[in-house]
Amino acid sequence: MAQSRLPRRFLDDGVRILAVAGAYYIAAKIGLSFAVVGGQVTPLWPATGTALAGLLLFGRRCWPGIALAAFVVNAAIGPTLPVVIAISTGNTLAPVLAHLLLTRAGFQTELRRLRDVLALIFLGAFAGMLVSASVGAGALAVAGTQDFWVTWSVWWTGDAMGVLVVAPVLLVVATARVDRRIPLTRWFEAAVLFGGLTLVTIVVMQAPARLLFLIFPMLIWAALRFRQAGAAPGNLIVSIAAVLAAAAKQGPFAGMDLLPTMITLQAFNAAATLTALLLAAATSERDEAQRALQRAVSQISEAVAALEPYSLLRTGLLQRVLHERDAPAPDNKLT
């Protein structure tokens, strides 16, 4: 029996490795279309979020898929083979380290707790992606193709935003459970929300005036009404639109140099991401607290109902004793 399970386990791992590799490759190709430094450093690198989500959902045994896809992607654009190997190694170690940190922190993929969102931000994105940025920027600097600090800053923020923008969407999709009892009005509200968010985002990203703040009410609506199922996809729409506008130097990013563009873009993406994810998590925690309170009230009510017959019996006995005590003594005189 144990021998028959072993090949099945290897087969399952192989399928997962190939799935992660394919998803990473597609996400990397999309990310390269946003490149702003050297044709390979982008302000949003979706592959890191895809890799981390794959590790969280399938386990660390699928890391070879990340390494394989990272090498294939970078081999086509890297200046030399040693640089390609270094960048691929950094791109593999970063999500693996992020996964280790999140696992140690007790991370839950549903993102319903505030602590899970904070862990994803500080451990998964900010801390974990230091590895890929440092290794990749260092390799390019040693090769003499890019300045270290400029490359490092864009690389780190791009990898971090990839985790914060893409990973929540994949985790929400993987852990979502569709309730068939959801009324049609709820689906209609969701359609209006995402349609309105897309329309507002397009207008804001093409308008010459800087109206980025108009997007936040829509993200707040998504987080409050649909929790992470609304916040994560809504944030993905906004972030991709912002990156495309920044790459095209249009809308609020028109006329800016590279550094101001990157600062404005990443500040906006970070603010939008943190607002949506944190608000959705806080609202989910509030809902869970209300459900726990309702369960406690229900249990207390059931306990009281179970004790009611004994209470009535005890009350009846007490009333009888009081009645007999207060009743006048019988007259025993003989007439």
pLDDT tens over the chain, length 335 residues = 455 566 777 788 889 999 999 999 999 999 888 876 656 668 899 999 999 999 999 999 999 999 999 999 999 887 889 999 999 999 999 999 999 999 999 999 999 999 999 999 999 999 999 999 999 999 988 887 677 888 888 889 999 999 999 999 999 999 888 777 888 999 999 999 999 999 999 999 998 888 899 999 999 999 999 999 999 999 999 999 999 898 888 899 988 887 788 888 989 999 999 999 999 999 999 998 988 888 888 888 777 677 656 555 556 655 665 566 556 655 555 44
Fill in the amino acid letter for 199. L
Instruction: Please give the pLDDT value at position 205.
Output: 93
Instruction: Please give the pLDDT value at position 221.
Output: 95
Instruction: Please give the pLDDT value at position 111.
Output: 92
